[in-house]
Amino acid sequence: MLLGLILEHLHMLGNTSKRAEQKHYVEFIDKYSTPRELGDNGVGIYRLRGGLAHRGDMRGHTHNSATHVLFSVPETQSKMHAFRIEADGKTPALFDLDLFIDGLDASVRHWYKANDSNTQVNLNLPHLIRYSSNGVSPFTKGLPAIVSGA
């Protein structure tokens, strides 16, 4: 959902070139979240997104100093978040999955509160991906699902 809101924000600005997309993505993260919440600043999160989305690892962005990405999961019962360590010449970026998702959720809510009166935002909200306890008709009517579309 965060990516959908960011792309919607870019669409409203009318400039979706690669450089503009990066600039606005970084500005969005830096304005509506903190490195403590997400585990990194806007540039770091943009690089994380690029590395993971395009290559499935951190080699996807040449300017990222992390060699690995580690998300601690609830089952570990320990939280490693918003810091880096070095071992054997390798440096993982450490994120706690719950804290990272909570940070994304908080930034989206902060963004929405700042933009909830924008007509374009309200026109596009029904189309964003979301949880629906009743699915989406006629495809999954009555079945809980993650859906997009009005």
pLDDT in tens, 52-79: 777 776 655 566 677 888 888 889 888 8
pLDDT in tens, 19-51: 777 888 899 889 998 888 888 888 888 888 877
Average pLDDT over residues 5-13: 50
What is the chain's percent helix, strand, coil content, to nearest 5?
50, 15, 35
pTM of the model: 0.70
Weakest mean pLDDT among 54-63, 70-79, 84-93, 104-113: 54-63
Q: Do the bridges between strand 68-72 and strand 92-96 make them parallel or antiparallel, or are there none, so unpaired?
A: parallel
Cis previous bond, 92, omega within 30: no
pLDDT-above-90 percentage for the chain: 10
